[in-house]
Structure 1
Amino acid sequence: MTETNHRSCKTNLRSRTIAKLVLGQLYPPAVVEAQYEDRLYPLTARLEFYLENFGYFHMQASKPDNVGHGLDDSPVAHASWLIQNLIMATDVAGERLIDGNLSANYNMDDFYDSFTVHWACRSMTTAARSYAVALAVHQDPLSMSIFMTPTPVPFAAIKFRHELVYQPDDFLRDKYPNLVQSNTLDFGGHFAGYQEPAVLADSIRTSVAKMEQFHRN
């Protein structure tokens, strides 16, 4: 997930943020509101979730060409790989349902269109390699220094219920002190552009107005 001025948020690795995260394991009210506590704690449950569901991430980040060329060769394998990750990042509880609960969350014509373009253009290798490129920042001291430095640009966040990583506003301000807007919702998942396009678009529009006001001030 790439940092932008408006997005559901990338994991914050700053030492002060990690310290807060660990403190919250001992006393959650110190770092997160009660209604959002289950999105962050217990940490053992979050770790179990990542270990069970992020095998695709490790494969794409470490062996992008192996994964990509194989999946580009078969539309069935390609669809299977994408659908599993779509289910997991929408609401992992959908795995218990025969259709992954996808038809209740998406306009499936949109998915079919997207998948067809993705497969016909043999895009899986490129998509997988983007994970390896994104993680390469951790191997370059300069890039990592920039990544860890607080950024004063105005920033907005939208946090859907089933986003893969939840960060309280206090965590976000460690990186983006000028947080002009933050919306926490009780619905939606990682693929908000598909699932809740109107909600996401409205959040972007309102955040742009607040960023413009920030610069005027």
Structure 2
Amino acid sequence: RLYPLSKTYAHLLEEMGYFHLQASKPDTVGVALRDSPVGLAAYILEKFAVWTKKDNKFLADGGIEKKFSLTDLLDNVMIYWVTDSITTSMRLYAESLAINQWSLGMEKIPANVPVACTAAPEEIAYTPRAALLLKFPQLVHYTHPPRG
């Protein structure tokens, strides 16, 4: 899943732009999205399409209705719209990646609780079992489903 690295890195660069935006400018992006219900829907629904299946980005409709009903998708968008919470949901990225958080070394402390992990084939980033065990020594279940 990690190899060839060039393909993995190309995919990460293409699909992780949202991560950089939300980690570095959550308030700017949030203000824009909270001002436009259509913009908010486009931003969220693109993630549903591409994160469900990488090749969906080549389909005219994003293949979005192959796995989700429009009602369920609209419900998801409306949660953010009516609660005005898109900006605060994006702040999680900025706050988790803040330099002052990383300087504490919290990421190096093992989480000694039972953990299970599913490594779906369509995940944006794949974490090998060995890497997970560094943080989660009580990894009790690790599976690779055939799709998802």
Q: Deviations over 1:64-85 (max 9, x none)?
A: 1110011110111111111122
Structure 2: 5+ residue stretches without partners: none
- The aligned residue for residue 150 of structure 1 is 110
Query: How far has the Cα of 1:146 moved from its partner?
Result: 2.3
Separation in structure 2 between the aligned mates of residue 138 and residue 46 of structure 1, nearest angstrom = 29
Q: Paired residue for 1:206?
A: none
Corresponding residue for residue 134 of structure 2: 174
CA RMSD of aligned residues (A): 1.7
**Counterpart of 1:163?**
123
Q: State the alpha-carbon separation in 1 of the partners of residues 100 and 86 from structure 2.
A: 23
- Point out the structure with max Rg over C-alpha: 1
Q: What amino acid sits opposite 1:70 in the alignment?
A: A
Is structure 2 residue 86 aligned with structure 1 residue 115?
A: no
What pairs up with 1:59-208 in 2 under 5 angstroms? 59-136=21-98, 139-142=101-104, 145-188=105-148
- Aligned residue type for 2:133: R
**TM-score where L is the length of structure 2:** 0.90
8 A Cα contact 2:12 2:125, kept in partner: no
Q: CA deviation at 1:136?
A: 1.6
Pairs aligned (count): 148
8 Å CA contact retained: 2:15, 2:124:
no
The one-letter code sitting in structure 2 at the alignment partner of 1:98 is A
User: Distance between the aligned counterparts of 1:138 and 1:104, measured in 2?
Assistant: 42
**Residues in 2 aligned to 1:54 and 1:146: alpha-carbon distance in whole angstroms:** 23
Mapped to 1, the partners of 2:103 and 2:27 lie a distance apart of 26
**Whole-Å Cα distance in 1 between the matches of residues 96 and 22 of structure 2?**
11
1:51 paired to 2:13:
yes
CA distance in 2, matches of 1:88, 1:148: 31
User: Partners of 1:51 and 1:43 in 2: how far apart?
Assistant: 12
Q: Which moved more, 1:174-183 or 1:131-140?
A: 131-140
The code of the aligned residue for 1:40 comes to L
Stretches of structure 1 lacking an aligned partner (at least 5 in a row): 1-38, 189-217
Distance 1:140 1:160, change over 3 A: closer
Give, in whole Å, the separation in 1 of the partners of 2:111 and 2:31.
37
Aligned-residue offset at 1:138: 6.2
Query: Identity of aligned pairs, percent?
Result: 37
SS in 1 for 2:19: helix
| 1:146-184 deviation line (CA, Å, top 9, x unaligned) | 211233322111121211221222221122222111121
- TM-score, normalization by structure 1: 0.63
